[in-house]
């Protein structure tokens, strides 16, 4: 899996730039437009939160674990509905941002949390963290199913019988290329290059092969009760993010400038700036190399 170091590279290094672009407590995951792409991003993100709360039967007083809580957008929504949220993240920057907002958040690997840590929960949500649970090394060693099975065991142990869990995640789709073809020196328009940019941005992370792998891995512990693709939603979300990332702001541009020394010395950082130009994840969705799912599970 992606550990603290890799997650900090992906999320903490550019944390300030992102927060100044999209908002202090913004969602760092695809919104839910329900087919109406004229909606403002914030409203579409709220629709996602509503969907999760409704599908997990969360109400005032419910105790909810947010696995991979980012800057706390879902914790904030839980606060508004009167539920008690606890968040886990591996990013120092996100943890600090959440603490500033008064959220109860810990830096901890959510894949190994047990009832002895924070007790049990009425519901568990994980929006955009599942992508990081399996590493390339796990995949190569044939351990991907096992990693996901263990995760669902962890979740199941935290829930009562009939308790529900929400997972939102990117997955590989039919167009995914073999790992060994990924190449940062491949032509710029190629899928080989696009995937190399993504691997550079998210070291330590390898996606599940379709929703089927996730559903199969969950089976001993949890059954699927609702799902849909959010691929088009994510394409739209990334379009809005890119406009906001480039929009001018003194503080934001100073934050960009503060990365100059890393840009000089670290080729990984230079490749990340190509991500800002090309948005390889958006292209991966457009070319159907990747898909994106929202999945609701119930403990069996
Ligand atoms: C794409 S961000 C999504 C954040 C937030 N859920 C949202 O929707 O804005 C992924 C999050 O997953 C967290 N994460 C990844 N792997 C994790 C793990 N094993 N344990 C805890 N958090 C993890 C990262 O730290 C980050 O907060």
pLDDT value at position 210? 98
Q: In this structure, are residues 128 and 41 in contact, taking their beta carbons and an 8 Å threshold?
A: no
How far is Cα 227 from Cα 83, in angstroms, rounded to an integer?
A: 24
> How much distance in Å is there from the Cα of 187 to the middle of ligand 1?
31
| Confidence class for position 290, pLDDT limits 50, 70, 90 | very high
Q: Which residue(s) pair with 64 in the sheet?
A: 85, 123
Query: With 70 as the cut, is the pLDDT of residue 261 above it?
Result: yes
Query: With 80 as the cut, is the pLDDT of residue 5 above it?
Result: no
How far is Cα 19 from Cα 92, in angstroms, rounded to an integer?
A: 14
Average pLDDT, rounded, for the chain: 93
What are the boundaries of each domain within the chain? 4-176+204-248+288-299
| Check whether domain 4-176+204-248+288-299 has CATH 3.40.50.300, yes or no | no
pLDDT tens-digit series, residues 199-249: 988 888 999 999 999 999 999 999 999 999 999 999 999 999 999 988 888
- Top pLDDT among 172 and 24 is at 172
pLDDT tens-digit series, residues 154-190: 999 999 999 999 999 999 999 999 999 999 999 999 9
Q: Which residue, judged by its Cα, is nearest atom 15 of ligand 1?
A: 129
pLDDT value at position 269? 80
pLDDT value at position 4? 80
Q: Is the CB of 129 under 6 A from ligand 1?
A: yes
Lowest-pLDDT choice from 38-42, 126-130, 274-278, 290-294 = 274-278
Q: Is the CB of 73 under 6 A from ligand 1?
A: yes
pLDDT value at position 90? 94
Mutate which of 129, 150, 155 for ligand 1? The one with the most ligand atoms within 8 Å of its CB, which is 129
pLDDT value at position 1? 66
Share of the chain above pLDDT 90, in %: 78
Atom of ligand 1 nearest to the CA of 91: 25
Atom of ligand 1 nearest to the CA of 1: 19
Closest to 166 measured CA to CA, from 126, 200, 224: 126
How far is Cα 43 from Cα 62, in angstroms, rounded to an integer?
A: 24
- Top pLDDT among 271 and 219 is at 219
Q: Is the CB of 281 under 6 A from ligand 1?
A: no
Mutate which of 77, 90, 103, 112 for ligand 1? The one with the most ligand atoms within 8 Å of its CB, which is 90
> How much distance in Å is there from the Cα of 275 to the middle of ligand 1?
19
Query: With 90 as the cut, is the pLDDT of residue 2 above it?
Result: no
pLDDT tens-digit series, residues 80-125: 999 999 999 999 999 999 999 999 999 999 999 999 999 999 999 9
Atom of ligand 1 nearest to the CA of 26: 9
Query: With 80 as the cut, is the pLDDT of residue 8 above it?
Result: no
How far is Cα 157 from Cα 163, in angstroms, rounded to an integer?
A: 10
The Cβ of residue 263 has, within 10 Å, a number of other Cβ atoms equal to 14
Mutate which of 7, 152, 158, 294 for ligand 1? The one with the most ligand atoms within 8 Å of its CB, which is 7
Q: Which residue, judged by its Cα, is nearest atom 23 of ligand 1?
A: 68
Q: Is the CB of 128 under 6 A from ligand 1?
A: yes
Q: In this structure, are residues 73 and 26 in contact, taking their beta carbons and an 8 Å threshold?
A: yes
Mutate which of 132, 169, 238 for ligand 1? The one with the most ligand atoms within 8 Å of its CB, which is 132
> How much distance in Å is there from the Cα of 239 to the middle of ligand 1?
21
Helix axes 210-218, 144-158, angle to 10 degrees: 50
Q: In this structure, are residues 75 and 97 in contact, taking their beta carbons and an 8 Å threshold?
A: no
Closest to 87 measured CA to CA, from 100, 104, 73, 99: 104
């Amino acid at each position: 899996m992606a550990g603290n170091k890799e997650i900090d590279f992906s999320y903490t290094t550019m944390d300030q730039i992102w927060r100044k672009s999209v908002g202090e407590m913004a969602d760092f995951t695809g919104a839910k437009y329900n087919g109406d792409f004229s909606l403002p991003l914030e409203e579409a993100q709220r629709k996602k939160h509503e969907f999760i709360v409704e599908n997990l039967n969360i109400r005032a007083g419910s105790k909810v674990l947010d696995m991979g809580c980012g800057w706390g957008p879902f914790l904030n929504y839980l606060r508004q509905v009167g539920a008690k949220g606890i968040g886990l993240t591996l990013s120092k920057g996100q943890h600090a941002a959440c603490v500033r907002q008064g959220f109860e958040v810990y830096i901890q690997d959510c894949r190994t949390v047990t009832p002895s840590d924070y007790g049990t929960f009425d519901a568990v949500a994980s929006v955009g963290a599942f992508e990081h649970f399996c590493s390339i090394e796990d995949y190569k060693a044939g351990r991907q199913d096992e990693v996901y099975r263990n995760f669902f065991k962890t979740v199941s142990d935290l829930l009562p019988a009939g308790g529900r869990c929400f997972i939102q995640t990117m997955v590989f789709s039919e167009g995914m290329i073999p790992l060994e073809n990924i190449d940062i020196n491949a032509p710029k328009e190629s899928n080989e290059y696009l995937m190399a940019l993504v691997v550079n941005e998210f070291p330590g992370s390898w996606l599940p092969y379709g929703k089927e792998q996730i559903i199969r891995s969950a089976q001993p512990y949890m059954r699927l009760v609702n799902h849909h693709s959010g691929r088009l939603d994510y394409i739209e979300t990334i379009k809005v993010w890119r406009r906001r990332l480039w929009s001018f702001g003194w503080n934001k541009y100073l934050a960009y400038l503060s990365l100059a020394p890393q840009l000089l010395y670290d080729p990984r950082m230079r490749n990340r700036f190509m991500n800002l130009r090309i948005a390889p994840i958006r292209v991966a969705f457009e070319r159907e190399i990747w898909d994106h799912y929202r999945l609701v599970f119930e403990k069996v």
